[in-house]
Amino acid sequence: MTTTFKLSDTAQMTRPQQIDETPGPAFTALMRKHKLTGEEYARVKDILGRIPTMAELGIFSAMWSEHCSYKSSRVHLKRFPTEGPDVVVGPGENAGVVRLSGKLCLAFKMESHNHPSYIEPYQGAATGVGGILRDVFCMGARPIANLNALRFGLRSHQRTPHLVENVVKGIGDYGNCVGVPTVAGNVSFDASYNGNCLVNAMTVGVIHEDRIFKGYATGQGNLVVYLGSATGRDGIHGASMASGSFATSENSERSTVQVGDPFTEKLLLEATLDVLDKGLVVGLQDMGAAGLTSSSFEMAGRAGNGLYMDLDHVPVRTTAMTAYELLLSESQERMLMVIEPHKWEELRAVLDKWQLACTVIGVVTDTGRVQIHHKGLLEVDVPVDPMTDLAPKYERPMRPRVKDALDPEVFNQQVTAAALARGPEALLLAALRDTGDKESIYSQYDQHIGTQTVHGPDAQGAAALWVRSEWADPSEPYLGVLTAAACNERYNRLDAYLGGAHAVLKAARTIAAAGGRPLAITDCLNYGNPEVPEVMADFSAGVDGISLACRELSVPVVSGNVSLYNETDGESIAPTPMIGMVGKIQDVRKSPTATVTESAALYLLCPLKVRPQFGGSLAAKLLDQSLQAGLAPEIDWHAEREGMDFLRLIVDKGQVSACRDVGDGGVITTAAKMVAKSGLGLQLDLALTELARYPELAQYFGEISGAFLICFNSGDESKALQSAATLRYNAVIKVGQVVDSSKISWGPWSMPLKVCHHAFTSALS
């Protein structure tokens, strides 16, 4: 190891053989393996001014893969609203950053690891957690919370139990070992994911506003340092695998899955924060998808510089790795740093303490090119800017889906008839079983480490953390962070535009129900094959729907991820734009849970112009009705904003003991879940509400947007109702009681509490 690095005269170096582009089956196979179209290949040659070497071909393949270049999505993503008074770092960096209190900021992002998790669920999920943690801490933020959003196929599908068990174990083992609590998330089971599961992992971290670190390779002559685990053959072509659909005939994907080591990640986390704290590095980048390749190009690109690297210095786990393999390996827990030469000794001392190997592998140049040497050859000589500037950017053809012609009202009646035939009691039980208790999952996650968790997954609403930091405004000693993830794939299948808006709204309502004000969102846009015009139209509509909600609610998008090609044998998943949101509450002691623990009157806050729908409803799913017919709930933005502001007001006054956004399965399912584990029963009657205009079954099981169930602290009802009297777009009406009885009863129907409790708690068995 050396503190100076010899920048050999690259002009004198021998070049390896270029690839053989003789037209024929071999060349076709080569292009297919690298997922490059003829046009893209021609562009590669234009940029280089010659035929590429094998290593260079690999680099373009990875950097221009969908996963790394966002080539199908970039043109749409720029429509997201990304600015706001609290935004400190917007999209484009490793994570987004928003101001929370004083100088205290939150860095957060969500990422997908869908394709690897389907192939090897334990390692796929584990390394997904690892990757998102690194994105956050390499900006200098200490992770304080993890969330995950999971989508699996039907429970009866033969692969599902294996996927669920191992994905959960992978997430738990990794997150627990690194020492970050997993505090919230969501899981659902839908036939659309039978061939493609979704694993979206999100991390929230805390950071001081003036110490946010970005991944720039600045300063000619500065050293490029490799840090962390040795490089092996894991995950080569992981990025291009995530950029392609599955076909059930191919089983060879197993070799492309990376293996994670959370112990090394923990050491990397502490070492990184230590090193940043001491001001020892100039640039820092996690080696994620496409490993050494993407991290070096990203760092060089952002700084407008060049890099020279010598792969002979890269620590290897396996002997005889080629340049190609070294550049594309996705071995985990590695980072790339740029440091000033005189900081080397101090850096090494810190890394020695944390038992991490570090090696100088290159130097920052002013050539504007990435030049890479290996075993006597100049394997790579590629200009940096064109790699991103001239990366393919597609405006893929879009064709909006043909909607089901069935009249939505007729559809509503069909679902109602089916519900009455099945029996509303049986329907409630099925609803509780489908969306019920996730304890067997979240009890495998450490929810308490960090001693900040006020409300975890067992509270069934937004997670609430009591953040104690000297950087926060001292007038907020009980400062709280609220966080939640949401997406209703059924609404998205029906209407990708409204579905995108609903996802943002759901997250915002979940946070408002806990008394919080949304600050910003991150997203994981999970869609199918973008080369299918209907899917591309869904994606574009989703972006527009999300953007609409963000503007209406004044919540910017500060980071995110796109996962396309979630398709098997030609079938794409339902559009699933997963939204991850962070919010703030000034006094977390006031934050209510989404479950009740004592007898209380039950109130419904509901928009005046509400109309229950069965389009994409839980009832339609459970009754085997079409999921392509009907309408998703309408949105009254005035009512939504007013309702959430009202909740924040009464929570801040300490008047609320429990509050829950009305979601899947309508008012009765939501109310039943509020009491399911309390040992208390429920009486519910909507006769005095706006919903009473509709058929009885629709009142209770129909789905609506913007409604909340609320229990007030005893003695506070009248004060809260006084505040409610001034509402213009909503009404707060008493709808029943949480009471010490053995029944749950609603309208003319009822079920023994014990049976409901059993259905709820056996949701995952």
Partner 1 sequence: MKRFTALGAPRIGLIDFPGSNCDRDCNDAFERHFGIKLIPVWHTEHTLPQVDAVLLPGGFSYGDYLRSGALAAHSPIMGAVKSFVSKGGAALGICNGFQILTESHLLPGALLRNRGRRFICKFVNLAAGSGNSVYQKQLGQRALRLPIAHGEGRYYIEGEGLRRLHDQGQVAFRYADAKGQANDESNPNGAVDNIAGIVSENGRVMGLMPHPERATDRLLGGSVDGLAVLDTFLSSFM
Q: In whole angstroms, give the CA distance from residue 82 to residue 723.
A: 34
* Cβ count within 10 A of residue 589: 11
What the block records as the tokens of 52 is 């590429």
At closest approach, how far in Å is the CB of 178 from partner 1?
Answer: 8
Q: In whole angstroms, give the CA distance from residue 525 to residue 363.
A: 36
Instruction: Tell which phi-psi region holds residue 443, choosing left (phi > 0), alpha (psi between -120 and 50) or beta.
Output: alpha
Contacts of 463 (CB under 8 A, 6+ apart): 145, 147, 183, 184, 453, 455, 456, 457, 482, 483, 484
* Residue 449 vs 721, nearer CB to partner 1: 449
* Residue 144 vs 149, nearer CB to partner 1: 144
At closest approach, how far in Å is the CB of 169 from partner 1?
Answer: 8
Q: Is 67 a catalytic residue?
A: yes
Q: In whole angstroms, give the CA distance from residue 124 to residue 253.
A: 12
At closest approach, how far in Å is the CB of 716 from partner 1?
Answer: 20
* Cβ count within 10 A of residue 693: 11
* Residue 19 vs 267, nearer CB to partner 1: 267
Please report, as ranges, the residues that interact with partner 1 according to CB under 8 A: 169, 172-173, 176-179, 261-264, 266-267, 353-355, 442-454, 466, 468, 478, 588-589
Question: What's 230's DSSP letter?
Answer: P
- The SS3 call for residue 93 is strand
At closest approach, how far in Å is the CB of 318 from partner 1?
Answer: 21
Residue 69 burial (CB < 10 Å; 0-12/13-18/19+)?
A: buried
Q: In whole angstroms, give the CA distance from residue 98 to residue 584.
A: 11
Cβ–Cβ < 8 Å for 660, 509: no
Contacts of 479 (CB under 8 A, 6+ apart): 100, 101, 104, 466, 467, 468, 469, 472, 473, 584, 585, 586, 587, 588
Closest by Cα among 148, 160, 161, 166 to 196: 160
* Residue 47 vs 441, nearer CB to partner 1: 441
* Residue 340 vs 458, nearer CB to partner 1: 458
Considering the candidates 67, 237, 373, 502, report the single residue annotated as catalytic: 67
* Cβ count within 10 A of residue 410: 10
Closest by Cα among 711, 676, 511 to 605: 711
Q: In whole angstroms, give the CA distance from residue 601 to residue 714.
A: 9
* Residue 265 vs 310, nearer CB to partner 1: 265
Is the CA virtual torsion 536, 540, 541, 545 positive or negative? positive
* Residue 265 vs 381, nearer CB to partner 1: 265
What the block records as the tokens of 401 is 């889906």
Q: In whole angstroms, give the CA distance from residue 487 to residue 506.
A: 7
Considering the candidates 76, 113, 237, 374, report the single residue annotated as catalytic: 113
Most distant CA pair in the chain, distance: 88
* Residue 62 vs 267, nearer CB to partner 1: 267
Cβ–Cβ < 8 Å for 491, 502: yes
At closest approach, how far in Å is the CB of 301 from partner 1?
Answer: 34
* Residue 169 vs 313, nearer CB to partner 1: 169
Element (H, E) at 387: helix 384-389
Q: In whole angstroms, give the CA distance from residue 44 to residue 469.
A: 50
* Residue 593 vs 617, nearer CB to partner 1: 593
At closest approach, how far in Å is the CB of 479 from partner 1?
Answer: 12
Q: In whole angstroms, give the CA distance from residue 113 to residue 170.
A: 12
**Which are the catalytic amino acids?**
67, 113
